[in-house]
Structure 1
Amino acid sequence: MTLSHPAYGRLRAVTETASVLLADNPGQMTLDGTNTWLLRAPGRSEYVVVDPGPEDHAHTDAIVRETGGAIALTLITHHHPDHTDGIDRLVELTGTPVRAVEPRFLRGKGTPLADGEVLEAAGLRITVVSTPGHTEDSVSFLLDDAVLTGDTVLGSGTTVLEGRDGALGDYLDSMDHLVELAEGRALLPAHGPDHPAADPVLRYYIRHRQERLDQIREALRVLGADASPEQVVERVYADVDESLWPAAQHSVQAQLSYLRSRN
């Protein structure tokens, strides 16, 4: 039987080289849960794991079961705990080395991931693409037939940005870079459903971000140039569940910083 998203705890094949295990950690920020990607070339016995997911023994045990514990390398898209809290148990059970941008997540003898680095494991060539914006350490992974985008691009909804200065400029640059690289490839996100073509999703994300910027410009025209992120959120996100407003404030802060730096 062919599985469709969401399918908790069951390996779902997506492309010739990528299958996914969905962690049972749904929520407002995780959508249906965290996607743990299992990658390998046809005919190979070892796997590359991308994002071990949360600290959930059932999920980690499912990764071990489906890989037979034969994990050549584990990769991390960014530091958030729903992607990284499962690292230590997976290492304990399989001995997998772990690579990430942030040194605190490294296990084994590997070094921090570098933009443009090409990894060879499980019969695959995987290119590391720096895609900051959601977090400073966010990276995507480029395969011949797909791009794994972590939380930089989700399978549904939109991405929350860091509130730091420069986050939106970084994010827009990341999106433009992904558009250049992703033509003809599937989109494999860390949350939400996968998509057979990355390009339309990426272009939607860029349009959406520009539309939000226009809405914030209008809000500043009404509220005044010195309006706070809280005031802007109340106006621009009035149709969004208020429980999501704190997260929206991070994105709004990044967008206000972006607009004010250009005035």
Structure 2
Amino acid sequence: MSGTPVEGERLAHPAYGVLRQVTPTAAVLLAENPSVMTLDGTNTWVLRAPGEETCVVVDPGPLDEVHLSRIAALGPVAQVLLTHGHADHAEGAAAFAERVKAPVRALDPALRLGEEGLAGGDVVVAAGLEIRVLATPGHTSDSLCFLLDDAVLTGDTVLGRGTTVVAHPDGRLGDYLESLRALADLPEGTAVLPGHGPELPDAGTAARAYLAHRELRLAQVRAAVERLTERLGGPPTARQVVEVVYADVDRALWSAAEWSVRAQLDYLRG
């Protein structure tokens, strides 16, 4: 894996301002938007076959002039693809696409610029690549993954570190579990190129670990609801469940955990 400095550096993290080649066809540029939700920042992926001049950009990230300028310098850009519509992935997409004169393709029509959308089963042919689109709802209703020959770009469906949020009510846990099962069935050795955090060596292994984690959390939530209902004389709120199940988790993450707990409660009721 190699790193190439990019114009307009504002270095505070060793990965900022550096295009890092991860696979023969995928390189990553880290946006400078770190937080408890985005980890070190959003991974913007730049895809092209060896020797190709044009590229496909996945998730341009936030509306950050320096980051968007760095990506634009890596062009020409044939297409912009979005894994989903959260601002840390998609906020800068329209401005970036206007700058590089490329269409934006996404599942959500509100995010598109150009004629064509994206849906599961589509194949994007650009930059010398065939990129298969996988519908992977759950984190959000519009979440997509993009499958290359040797890797899958997972957006927020699978992260490089930690676990992701099911963003209830748009995200639904039942959908998310089905999406994880689909990723678990990918060929062995399919690398994970996530929206946040480092790449992972095997999508199947990562997805199965996520499934086990979700089953554990569901059991914990079910038990907490039973105990709290007995103690309170009625069903607890999602926040009350968070305070029990996530008692050992940084409180800065409790608001995000509450989204997932709402999704879990909805799933258990169903």
Q: Which residue of 2 aligns with 1:15?
A: 23
Q: Which moved more, 1:178-187 or 1:113-122?
A: 178-187
Q: Which runs of 4+ in 1 moved over 4 A?
A: 3-6
Q: In the TM superposition, what whole-angstrom CA distance separates every residue of 1:193-236 from its partner, at most 9, and x where no partner exists?
A: 11122222111111111110111111122112722111100000
Q: Which residue of 1 aligns with 2:189?
A: 184
Q: Distance in 2 between matches of 1:9 and 1:245?
A: 31
Q: Distance in 2 between matches of 1:166 and 1:94?
A: 32
Counterpart pick for 2:52 among 44, 58, 61: 44
Structure 1: give runs of 5+ residues left out of the alignment. none
Q: Which residue of 1 aligns with 2:89?
A: 83
Q: Secondary structure at the match of 1:109?
A: coil
Q: Is 2:249 aligned against 1:240?
A: yes
CA-CA distance at 1:247 after TM superposition: 1.1
CA-CA distance at 1:245 after TM superposition: 1.1
Q: Secondary structure at the match of 1:48?
A: strand
CA-CA distance at 1:166 after TM superposition: 7.5
Amino acid at match of 1:142: L
Aligned in 2, Cα 1:27/1:123: closer, same or farther, shift over 3 Å? same
Aligned in 2, Cα 1:256/1:25: closer, same or farther, shift over 3 Å? same
Q: Distance in 2 between matches of 1:80 and 1:166?
A: 12
CA-CA distance at 1:87 after TM superposition: 1.3
- 5 Å-filtered alignment, 1:90-105, equals 90-105=96-111
Q: Distance in 2 between matches of 1:217 and 1:117?
A: 38
Q: Which residue of 2 aligns with 1:230?
A: 239
Q: Which moved more, 1:177-186 or 1:21-30?
A: 177-186
Aligned length: 258
Q: Which residue of 2 aligns with 1:256?
A: 265
Q: Distance in 2 between matches of 1:64 and 1:79?
A: 20
Is the CA contact (8 Å cut-off) linking 1:166 and 1:258 kept in structure 2?
no
- After TM superposition, the score normalised by the length of structure 1 is 0.94
Q: In the TM superposition, what whole-angstrom CA distance separates every residue of 1:4-43 from its partner, at most 9, and x where no partner exists?
A: 9961121000001000000010001111000000001111
Q: Distance in 2 between matches of 1:255 and 1:65?
A: 43
CA-CA distance at 1:241 after TM superposition: 1.7
Q: Distance in 2 between matches of 1:233 and 1:80?
A: 23
- 5 Å-filtered alignment, 1:101-116, equals 101-110=107-116, 112-116=117-121
Q: Distance in 2 between matches of 1:116 and 1:97?
A: 19
Amino acid at match of 2:2: T
Aligned in 2, Cα 1:209/1:59: closer, same or farther, shift over 3 Å? same
Q: Distance in 2 between matches of 1:145 and 1:108?
A: 29
Q: Is 2:82 aligned against 1:73?
A: no
Amino acid at match of 2:248: D
- 5 Å-filtered alignment, 1:207-222, equals 207-222=212-227
Amino acid at match of 1:188: L
- After TM superposition, the score normalised by the length of structure 2 is 0.91
Q: CA RMSD in A?
A: 1.7
Q: Which residue of 2 aligns with 1:170?
A: 175
Q: Distance in 2 between matches of 1:6 and 1:237?
A: 32
Counterpart pick for 2:199 among 181, 187, 194: 194
Is the CA contact (8 Å cut-off) linking 1:64 and 1:94 kept in structure 2?
yes
Q: Which residue of 2 aligns with 1:2?
A: 2
Q: Secondary structure at the match of 2:23?
A: coil
Q: Distance in 2 between matches of 1:121 and 1:141?
A: 13
Q: Secondary structure at the match of 2:185?
A: helix
* Matched-pair identity in %: 56
Structure 2: give runs of 5+ residues left out of the alignment. 5-12
Amino acid at match of 1:97: P
